[in-house]
Amino acid sequence: MDRSSPPVLRVSNLCKSFGALRASDGIDLDVRTGEIHALIGPNGAGKTTAINQLSGELSPDQGEILFNGQNVTALPVQKRAQLGLARSYQITSIFPAFTAVENVAMAVQSKQGQNFRFWAKARADRARIDPAMTVLRRMGLENVAGAIAGELAHGQQRQLELAMALATQPKMLLLDEPMAGMGPEDSRRMTEILLPLKDHLSILLVEHDMDVVFALADRITVLVLGKAIATGTPQAIRNSPAVQAAYLGELR
Amino acid sequence: MANSTLSRKSLVLLLGLVVLLALPPVALALDEAFFISLFSRILIYALAAVSLDLILGYAGMASLGHGAFLGVGAYVVGILAFHVSEDLAIPFLPGAWTGTTSAVIAWSAAIVMSALVALAIGALSLRTSGVYFIMITLAFAQMLYFFFVSLVTYGGDDGVNLEQRNSFPLLDLGDDTRFYYVCLAVLLGFIYLCQRLVNSRFGMVMRGCKQNETRMRALGFETYKYKLACFVIAGAGAGLAGALAANQSEFVSPGLMHWTRSGEVMVMVILGGMGTLFGPVFGAIALLLMEEILAAYTQHWMIILGPILILVVLFARRGIYGFLAGDGGRDG
Amino acid sequence: MTFFLFLEQTLNAFQLGVMLFLMAAGLTLVFGIMNMINLAHGSFYMIGAYVAAYVGHLTGSFFIAVAVALPVAAIVGMAVETIALRKLYNRDHLDQVLATFGLILFFNELTSIIWGPQAIFVPIPPLFAGSVEIIPGVPYPVYRLVIIAAGLAVAVLLRLLIVKTRTGMLIRAGASNREMVSALGVDIDRLYTVVFGLGALLAGLAGALAGPILATEIGMGENILILTFVVIIVGGIGSIRGALIGALLVGLVDTYGRAFLPTLLRALFEDPSVADGVGASVSSMSIYILMAVVLVIRPRGLFQAYG
Ligand SMILES: Nc1ncnc2c1ncn2[C@@H]1O[C@H](COP(=O)(O)OP(=O)(O)OP(=O)(O)O)[C@@H](O)[C@H]1O
Ligand SMILES: [Mg+2]
């Protein structure tokens, strides 16, 4: 991690209200190049709402989002994705009728373009399938490559979704509770997969499991009632009285 | 297992093809020439249904205005022929073109015009989705319906008659049998085209949009663009069907784009098997034959058809083709 | 002269507008709350019209006719909901389109069996026959004023129902957040049936009122249904206020378009026959052009409900 380099993602004064509810209340956040930055907070704190604004699915009421120095606040989802901002969803979002490899191949295709090719068979296109298989292998999913994605086990679907995000070769990942609903075994595997990723990309990770967070995160931001109340190293966050009062205290 | 269902599917398709190929001579031998024109009509509607299935079954766009493109295609043929027979220049066009009865030109014009109309309607309708999309496509089709009703030059409500069918350089379509085979060839050609299309990169994008458009966008796909392209292709296919329909009945009227027509084509798709390329053909055969047969028993046949539709929706979603061809029928 | 014409056309527009509102109010609630597209909504309109025509013919009383038509439409609506449509709430919209398309075929044919395929013409009730001078020198048919008044009265009643009663509270909540209403432990099935019946009743009322000014015929429901769709697209799904504004807007655009566009175009085109041709085409399309414009500016309608 390079502390001197400019942040890959810089969020300032992000605000979003649903009626009277302030789901994002002036969030400031930096994610540095090559860091895993955890975003934690109790249920309903506004983590998913924040991620949705970063990815472009929700447009903020106020505030600014810079990605690699470029202002992306007004860009739609697909444009941000093309710039290298990939995401996973808290509720698994895959193509249930496709096979696993086809799911990843869609991500590969998105990166490669040529979406207006009308004639050649896509499923036989090595340029599309081979990179997808490589990613699946990296995730340990090669055995289920031919299985229908909707019929995979929950844990495998979560991994598949991460595989899709990775196959777009993003510069940054927004992961909304990638371990949600996983057993301890799958969860540990996922941790092992995520850790080496920071060699070539940055991650904003929303996660409830504190063991995972402390194992992975370089820095942590704590969100409570839409406000970022603290940011710091895991050590600093663990010892912060404010955080303990507002959040960690509940869990212990 | 996979092999036996595959062969079952091939068997069903082969049998279907043989029946369709053999139909005219058999009908003539039995002195039932009526079947040739009935099945020409069926093939034409099958073409429209296959084109609708591209957007409905593969790309997940529930359009209830497909009849509009059918009508535009038919009117292009009808208007071009009308100007020939009246020796009248076509208004709003440069030059004093008095139309044509050439199939090549007229059908191409039908395809281009319906594609353009689909581009306009699609560009607006695809700004929305879900129920909105259904209502908007329906409303735009109805707009075109009223537009053609208001064209008194072309008969308004009553439409225009064609003096004769369009002609190819060496092929006279006036003969019903020949016309039948042309319809069959066009249908099979279109299905082959779609077969390539839905399995291409573009086709995978369409299927992705149907399953999970949010995910497609999050992967970086400009889904609007691809859906619009697909909508235009489907519109062009329906326009071709319209051109054929005009030739088949030698008559064009706004009735072709009445919304019940769009509904019927949609019923064909669902009845036959949505998301398959051959399903809509079976659907068209089933629906139009059923209409013919029920109508022979009672003039109130719709009172039977209506509840059948409801039952199909509630209990038989796989459609006829899925039922006949087994699991292999799912080529989506 | 032109002012009088303008006034008359404005009243005509209002009359069309309130009819469309009666249709749109029920339909938009069914969309908004059940997330259901119901093509057969026009059938309730037709049923209302036919029952009113029939009872009116038997009894000679317009009021008895309307009084019978309303509950019949509501009961048919609730029966259809309970028997068939309820099973479709969680299906995709395509299934709903298809099944309700089947319903239309059924109702149209049933009507034709019971009352015959010919259109029925209902006389204007004697009480409301003739015209009044709304301002000196401008006569206007009383019956059309009655329709406007009835439509506005219904709008006010609906507003009271929705703002002041518990059912109304649930309807409002349901339109903006369905999950929440079921989470409140409300008997959601009953709420749905009631909403559906209410929508059918309003459509039946529109049909019964339309009888004396339009032909009562098979297929009348579908014509107004598509106009109603335009109203809802313009107004925004799930919003009663949107339905009212949308209905009046569509009424105005359609009526003005037909009344004034041809004259306007005659001033633009040299050849009057071309002007008339274009005028007829454009005015028949005017409301769809309105819809297209709204779509460009606000794809989810002028008054979209939350979400
Ligand atoms: N579209 C919406 N409309 C209205 N309220 C919303 C919407 N989306 C989220 N909310 C509300 O905003 C608040 C924050 O929700 P959010 O999903 O961002 O929380 P979260 O931190 O991701 O919670 P969790 O840990 O449960 O995933 C919640 O109170 C939620 O009910
Ligand atoms: Mg969340």
**Chain A nearest C-alpha distance from B201 (Å):** 5
Are C210 and C45 in contact, with CB atoms under 8 Å apart? yes
Q: Distance between CA C119 and CA C223 in Å, rounded?
A: 15
The reported pLDDT for the residue numbered C305 is: 53
Q: Do A193 and A252 lie in a common domain?
A: yes
Whole-number Å distance between alpha carbons of A34 and B40: 65
Give a yes or no: residue C149 inside a domain: yes
Give the distance from residue A17's alpha carbon to the nearest chain B alpha carbon, in angstroms: 22
Whether C97 is covered by a domain: the verdict is yes
| Distances, alpha carbon A83 to alpha carbons A58, B294, C305, in Å | 18, 59, 33
Contact of C272 with chain B, judged by CB distance below 8 Å, is answered with no
pLDDT digit string, tens, across residues C24-38: 998 988 887 888 889
Burial string for A194-205 (b: 16+ CB within 10 Å, else e) reads beebbeebbbbb
Instruction: State the SS3 of A112-147.
Output: HCCCCCCCCCCCCCHHHHHHHHHHHHHCCCHHHCCC
Domain-located, residue C132: yes
Give pLDDT, residue A167.
Answer: 93
Domain with A28, as residue range(s), is 1-84+171-252
**C99 Cβ contact partners less than 8 Å away, ≥ 6 residues apart:** B309, B310, B313, B314, C84, C85, C88
* C31 CA from centroid of ligand 2 (Å): 28
Ligand 1 atom nearest residue A226's Cα:
14
A78 and A182 housed in the same domain:
yes
Residue A142 contacts B, CB cutoff 8 Å: no
User: If you measure from the C-alpha of residue A48 to the centroid of ligand 1, how many angstroms do you get, rounded to a whole number?
Assistant: 7
Atom number, ligand 1, closest to the C-alpha of residue A42: 25
Burial code (b: 16+ CB inside 10 Å, e: under 16) for B257-266 equals bbbbbbbbbb
The closest of C202, C206, C150 to C19, measured between CA atoms, is: C206
Is A2 in the same domain as A80?
yes
Tokens of A28: 């400031």
pLDDT-derived band at B332 (thresholds 50, 70, 90) equals very low
Residues flanking ion ligand 2, Cβ below 5 Å: A 48, 90
Among A137, A169, A201, where does a domain finish? A169
List of chains touching C (3+ CB pairs within 8 A): B
Q: Identify the pLDDT of residue B4.
A: 56
Q: Which of A169, A190, A205 is the last residue of a domain?
A: A169
**Alpha-carbon gap: B132 to the closest alpha carbon of chain C (Å):** 7
Instruction: Give the residue from C28, C43, C109, C258 with the most B CB atoms within 10 Å of its CB, the best one to mutate.
Output: C109
Answer whether B251's CB lies under 8 Å from B159's CB. yes
Question: Residue whose CA is closest, atom 3 of ligand 1?
Answer: A18
Average pLDDT in the B209-234 region? 95
Q: Ligand 1 centroid vs A23 CA: distance in angstroms? A: 7
pLDDT on residue B1: 42
Tens-binned pLDDT, residue by residue, of chain A (252 aa): 455 567 889 999 999 998 888 989 999 999 998 899 999 988 888 999 999 999 999 999 999 999 998 999 999 999 999 999 999 999 999 999 999 999 999 999 998 887 778 887 878 888 899 999 999 998 889 999 899 999 999 989 999 999 999 999 999 999 999 988 888 888 888 888 888 888 889 999 999 888 888 888 999 999 988 888 888 888 888 888 877 777 655 544
Write down the pLDDT at residue C1: 53
Distance from CA of B175 to the nearest CA of C (A): 35
* Distance (Å) from CA A53 to ligand 2 centroid: 13
For C120-155, the pLDDT digits (tens) are 888 888 888 888 887 787 788 888 999 999 999 998
- Distance from Cα B110 to the centre of ligand 1, integer Å: 51
d(CA C33, CA C178): 7
- Which tokens go with A79? 């444009």
Q: Within this chain, do residues A1 and A80 fall inside the same structural domain, yes or no?
A: yes
Ligand 1: residues with CB < 6 A are: A 18, 21, 23, 41, 43-49, 90
Query: Which C-chain residues 25-64 have CB contacts (< 8 A) with chain B?
Result: 31, 35, 37
For the CA of A47, the nearest atom of ligand 1:
21
Pick from C111, C115, C230, C288 the residue to mutate for testing the B interface (most B CBs within 10 Å): C288
C84 touches chain B (CB under 8 A): yes
Given this model, what pLDDT does residue A247 score? 66
Starting from the CA of residue A21, give the closest ligand: 1
Point out the ligand 1 atom lying closest to the alpha carbon of residue A49. Answer: 18
User: Chain A residue with minimal CA distance to B205?
Assistant: A115
pLDDT for B29 equals 87
Q: Tell me which ligand sits closest to the C-alpha of residue A46.
A: 1
Read off the pLDDT of each residue in B202-225 and give the average, rounded to a whole number: 94
- Shared domain for A104 and A114, answered yes or no, is yes
Q: Is B169 on the interface with A (CB under 8 A)?
A: no
Domain that holds residue C29: 6-219
Min Cα distance B283 → chain A (Å) is 23
How many domains are contained in chain A?
Answer: 2
Read off the pLDDT of each residue in B293-310 and give the average, rounded to a whole number: 85
Nearest CA to ligand 1 atom 22: A48
More confident site: B325 or A57: A57
Q: How far is A87 from chain B (nearest CA, A)?
A: 7
Q: Is residue C289 one of the residues assigned to a domain?
A: no
What does the longest C-alpha to C-alpha distance in chain A come to? 63
Q: What is the pLDDT of residue A104?
A: 95
- Beta carbons of C295 and B128 less than 8 Å apart: yes
| Domain limits, chain B | 35-264
- The answer to whether A99 contacts chain B (CB < 8 Å) is no
Residue B121: closest CA among chain C residues belongs to which residue? C292
Backbone angles phi, psi at B312, to 5 degrees: -60, -45
What's the burial of A192, exposed, middle or buried (CB within 10 Å: 0-12/13-18/19+)?
exposed
Q: What is the mean pLDDT of the segment spanning B194-201?
A: 94
Q: Write out chain B in H/E/C secondary structure.
A: CHHHHHHHHHHHHHHHHHHHHHHHHHHHHCCCCHHHHHHHHHHHHHHHHHHHHHHHHHCCCCCCCCHHHHHHHHHHHHHHHHHHHHCCCCCCCCCCCCCCCEHHHHHHHHHHHHHHHHHHHHHHHCCCCHHHHHHHHHHHHHHHHHHHHCCHHHCHHHCEECCCCCEECCEECCCHHHHHHHHHHHHHHHHHHHHHHHCCHHHHHHHHHHHHHHHHHHCCCCHHHHHHHHHHHHHHHHHHHHHHHHHHHCEECHHHHCHHHHHHHHHHHHHHCCCCCCHHHHHHHHHHHHHHHHHHHCCCCHHHHHHHHHHHHHHCCCHHHHHHHHHHHCCC
- State the best of B219, B226, B227, B327 to mutate against chain A, taking most chain A CBs within 10 Å: B219
Last residue of a domain, which of A134, A169, A204?
Answer: A169
* Domains contained in chain C, number: 1
Residue A58 CA: which ligand 1 atom is closest?
A: 1
For B146, the closest of C95, C109, C285 (CB atoms) is C285
CATH number for A4: 3.40.50.300
**Rounded average pLDDT per 10-residue block, chain C, 307 residues:** 81 92 90 85 95 92 93 95 87 88 92 90 84 81 91 89 82 69 73 90 94 89 90 87 92 90 78 76 86 86 64
ipTM for the whole complex:
0.90
Q: Which chain B residue lies closest to C93 (C-alpha atoms)?
A: B131
Q: Residue B119: pLDDT band by 50, 70, 90 thresholds?
A: very high
B-contacting chains (≥3 CB pairs under 8 Å): A, C
pLDDT of amino acid B173: 82
